[in-house]
Amino acid sequence: MIKVCGVSKSFSKVKVLEDVSFTVDKGDIYGVIGHSGAGKSTLLRCFNGLETYDTGTINIMGKEVKELTSKELREFRKNVGIIFQSFNLINRKNVFENIAFPLEIWGKDKSFIKERVDSLIDLVGLKDKVNSDVRQLSGGQKQRVGIARALALNPKILLCDEATSALDPKTTKSILELLRDINNKFNITIIVVTHQMEVVKEICNKFILLEGGEIRSQGTTDELFVRPTKEMKTLIGEEELLPDTGYNIKIFFSKEISQKCLITSIARELNIDFSIVWGRLEKFRDNVMGSLIINASEENKGKILNYLDEKSIGWEVII
Amino acid sequence: MLFKEILLPALLETLYMVAISTIFAMILGFISAVVLIISKPKGLRPNLLIYKSLNLIINILRSFPFIILMISIFPLTKIIVGTTIGTNAAIVPLTLGAAPFAARIIESALLEVDYGIIEAAKSFGAKNHQIIFKVMVKEAMPSIVLGVTLTIINIIGYSAMAGTIGGGGLGDVAVKYGYYRFKTDIMIYTVIILIVVVQITQALGNLLHRKMVK
């Protein structure tokens, strides 16, 4: 669907993107995560030609974005909807007119527009706000209008540029749910650019981590949360404070073992003592995932590791 | 008597001059502002030559004190209207004096439009003219309305000056009767009428603006 290959870009002398490559498949919700200034928005804006890139290729649905003429680019943009952090709605148009705007641009007739906009308003749950002034809407409602507008032309891809960064956690969640619904219902590929870890965790199936314009981490989201890489930990701001004595063993909890009384069974079955010194368990969609670090004495180390291996549970000794 | 024979015709002349020159000045100003916005660096279609030349012309025209501008373009006025005296003749310098002002006002109103909104329109495949008229002008309309109000009031002020050198209108009356003939009462009346006209204009402008932003 989208194939990014060796993309680099610099603004005058500053490198914003460096040799970025990844592939997005149809139906993916793909996360691009990183700190502000990591180049993630720039990357996203290259996808619909709002920005250009210096080298490399971005191939979307068989077309090289850079090579499109301005007329082709306009045509191409019909297939790529976008929503923004600041919503970017036209303040002097009401909800209906905002959503109708892309359709008007493409010269659709009135009855078609009415039908399409009504169904979109239904989809995003703003039925009672059809004629409201957009200035009177809350942030979440504005983003719903933004989503409806982005979907008006029936795009195959939806780009989200920090779409939830201006919203509170609860509203963020409802917007993310809406995006997931849309992804399920219409099989639209969604690219999510964000600095919020929760967003990736909540809806993305794959992700890349950008830092200083380079990809530092890349993979599926489940993996990421069970075994975060060093870069991910920096981003989350997580550092483990562990005791200096004994051995620290990190046990990875996947969704299968999180409910299997693992810790208590180690203690009972091996008849040993150990302390839990660090842990991170998180709700991941509808499952629990994460890791626990236990501290055990040297003599028990072998037993524990054997036990974990027997049950084929992931572990790592931290020194 | 005084009102019917002197002040009313003068008021009508002033309103006529102001109205016609406002229309022309707005048309010229609007076109220039749109050209500036499109051709500016990072505009929809950057063209430095056009941008800089137009900028220069506007700045030059704006540097002229109005009364000097009026006299110096007499030849042009003669070509367009056939005479340099009278209300119609005054419309030419009034238009040329106010158009650059209007251009700047409209330009800044258009510049105020959030770039994100323009980008959003681009992202949906809008053509440049759609972005300008359906997005930028639409969004900037409340500011443009205030700008037009400002322009009109400016033109009213200019028109009084035009009156002194044969343009007619309230300025003419004030100078002829109030200044040369020491008729202070007429002078005061014209000032009061001008105050009322300006007040009404500003009130209407504010009202329209408020209606637009709700």
Q: Give the per-residue pLDDT at B166.
A: 76
Q: Give the per-residue pLDDT at A229.
A: 73
% of residues, chain B, pLDDT over 70: 100
Averaged confidence pLDDT in chain B: 91
Q: Give the per-residue pLDDT at A247.
A: 83
Whether the predicted pLDDT of A230 surpasses 80: no
Any idea what the Cα angle at residue A226 is, between residues A224 and A229, rounded to 5°? 50
Using a CB–CB cutoff of 8 Å, tell me whether A75 touches chain B.
yes
How large is the average pLDDT for residues A1-16?
89
CA atoms within 13 A on the CB side of B72: 9
Averaged confidence pLDDT in chain A: 88
The 10s digit of each residue's pLDDT in B82-104 is 888 888 889 999 999 999 999 99
Residues whose CB falls within 8 Å of the CB of residue B87, separated by 6 or more in sequence, listed in order: B13, B16, B17, B167, B168, B169
How large is the average pLDDT for residues A262-269?
85
More confident site: A31 or B163: A31
Q: Give the per-residue pLDDT at B85.
A: 85
Q: Give the per-residue pLDDT at A37.
A: 81
Residue B117: which of A90, A106, A152 has the nearest Cβ?
Answer: A90
Q: Give the per-residue pLDDT at A237.
A: 63
Using a CB–CB cutoff of 8 Å, tell me whether A297 touches chain B.
no
Residues whose CB falls within 8 Å of the CB of residue B54, separated by 6 or more in sequence, listed in order: B32, B35, B36, B39
Q: Give the per-residue pLDDT at A270.
A: 86
Most trustworthy range by pLDDT among A38-42, A108-112, A283-287: A108-112
ipTM: 0.83
The 10s digit of each residue's pLDDT in A180-193 is 999 999 999 999 99
Alpha carbon of A173: minimum distance to chain B alpha carbons (Å): 24
Contact A80 B123 (CB under 8 A): yes
Using a CB–CB cutoff of 8 Å, tell me whether A86 touches chain B.
yes
Q: Give the per-residue pLDDT at A260.
A: 75
Residue B123: which of A77, A90, A135 has the nearest Cβ?
Answer: A77
Instruction: Tell me the C-alpha distance between B7 and B183, whole Å.
Output: 13
Using a CB–CB cutoff of 8 Å, tell me whether A281 touches chain B.
no
Residue A92: which of B123, B124, B141 has the nearest Cβ?
Answer: B141
The 10s digit of each residue's pLDDT in A195-229 is 888 888 889 999 998 888 888 888 888 777 667 77
Whether residue A37 contacts residue A193, with contact meaning beta carbons closer than 8 Å, is answered with: no
Whether the predicted pLDDT of A29 surpasses 80: yes
Contact B120 A104 (CB under 8 A): no
**Minimum mean pLDDT among A23-32, B59-68, B79-88, B189-198: which range?**
B79-88
